[in-house]
Amino acid sequence: MKHHFLGLAANYSRKERLAHTFAVGRKKDYQELSEFLRQKYEGEAILTKNGRSALALALKAYFEPGDAVIVNGFTCYAVYEAIKAAHLTPVWADISSEDLNYNATTLGRLEISKNVKGIIIQNSLGNPVDVATVEKFAKKHNLTIIEDLAHSAGVKYPDGREAGTVGAAAAFSFGKDKAIDTISGGAVVLRYPHKNVIKAPSKLPKISDTLRARFYPLFGAVAQGLSYIYLSGAWMRALVKIHWVEKSADNTLDLDRKIAKFEAKLALRQFKALKKSGEKPLREFCLVRDRKEVLKKLQKSGYYFGGVWYEKPVSPERYYKKVHFPENECPVAVEVAEKITNYPTFYSKKDLKKAHEIVAEYREEIK
């Protein structure tokens, strides 16, 4: 078993790797991706540097500084960063351990003050939220719904509607291991009239960011080769140290820059393939006791499960203190963060057979 790194892009076939590295982007690729998103999600499409920038623009479009928005209590720091960039306040809702989303019960525990104006749907790890319940709750409290589709482009809600077609806006991330993965980039579709003027990013991405995104799959290929002599970790740490690889959570929010042209081309290709195949992007998870021991056993068997998603209710851990997360209000999210392990998207079902056996020994449900 290979010791994989870097997520989906690291596991490209040679053809896919070359197609990514040498993709030629043109101005028309911006236009074609924007038009595709406009038609599919029926709104104004704006292309952005990354997903957190897209979400920040969505929030700026529909809310005023000082407003508060309800957010999943088990999420990424990028979501919190977008909320703060829009000068809003997060209201954390606890989750169900079954699908990692808030539900009628956890939403019902919240105190909805007059400054709470919106709610962000996350569809955690590609698991669709009960959107009818969210809509009922939003209508009762006069809340605007924003859909964050970083994990869930192409996913269908329980009532049959597609994610991205329900809220006032839909935000997308095209970052590593997301539903649409071009290494970086993002987009937002503003579906309903918005009261605030939004300026679309006009600057091209920095050359350094474009080069990192373009060569990332090649770095992954080298990591795979080095895994046979146990040097993958050293290789990756060196790349991060010299800034040739950027950790996803460190990709800075920037409302002035947009996606690289070649990434727009690749994103459109993936959207069309997703539409054609009807596949639902989903990261399988399991709750376990003694997670460190589980991960250690997996690594000994040749598996790399390093991307826990999430080791804290708001991850990564190095940013957690900045959030001032109310752990007493979201006890399930806290416990899930201590026990969750995720099956990486870059192994086949056949490859994961042994991993499932290892994890099964430690499976533990939250009561």
pLDDT tens-place values along the chain, 367 residues long = 444 444 555 567 788 888 899 999 999 999 999 999 999 999 999 999 999 999 999 999 999 999 999 999 999 999 999 999 999 999 999 999 999 999 999 999 999 999 999 999 999 999 999 999 999 999 999 999 999 999 999 999 999 999 999 999 999 999 988 889 999 999 999 999 998 999 999 999 999 999 999 998 888 888 877 877 778 778 888 988 998 888 878 889 999 999 999 999 999 999 998 866 555 556 789 999 999 999 889 888 878 776 657 889 999 999 999 999 999 999 999 999 999 988 877 777 788 899 999 999 999 887 6
Instruction: Provide the pLDDT for residue 277.
Output: 58
Instruction: Provide the pLDDT for residue 7.
Output: 54
Q: What share of the chain is helix, strand, coil (3-state, %, to 5)?
A: 45, 15, 45
Q: With contact defined as beta carbons under 8 Å apart, do 127 and 99 qualify?
A: yes
Q: Which two tokens stand for residue 232?
A: 């993958």
Strands (E), the chain: 44-48, 68-72, 75-76, 89-93, 116-121, 144-148, 169-173, 186-190, 285-287, 314-315, 340-342
Strand partners for 171: 148, 188
Instruction: Provide the pLDDT for residue 250.
Output: 84
Laid out side by side, the sheet with 68-72 consists of 44-48, 186-190, 169-173, 144-148, 116-121, 68-72, 89-93
> CATH 3.40.640.10 in the chain, residues?
23-190
Q: With contact defined as beta carbons under 8 Å apart, do 8 and 181 qualify?
A: yes
**Which DSSP letter does residue 15 get?**
H
Pairing assessment for the beta strands 68-72 and 75-76 based on DSSP bridges: unpaired
Q: With contact defined as beta carbons under 8 Å apart, do 286 and 341 qualify?
A: yes
The Cα–Cα gap between 65 and 304 comes to: 42
Instruction: Provide the pLDDT for residue 53.
Output: 98
Cis peptide bond N-terminal to 316, omega within 30 = yes
Strand partners for 257: 203
Q: Which two tokens stand for residue 105?
A: 């019960």
The Cα–Cα gap between 170 and 159 comes to: 18
Instruction: Provide the pLDDT for residue 80.
Output: 97
The Cα–Cα gap between 15 and 12 comes to: 8
Q: With contact defined as beta carbons under 8 Å apart, do 150 and 51 qualify?
A: yes
* Residues whose CB is less than 8 angstroms from the CB of residue 81 and which lie 6 or more positions away in sequence, other chains included: 52, 56, 253
pTM: 0.93
Strands (E), 66-218: 68-72, 75-76, 89-93, 116-121, 144-148, 169-173, 186-190
Q: How many secondary structure helices (H) and strands (E) does the chain include?
A: 13, 11
The Cα–Cα gap between 38 and 357 comes to: 44
Q: Which two tokens stand for residue 3?
A: 């010791």
**CATH code for residues 23-190:** 3.40.640.10
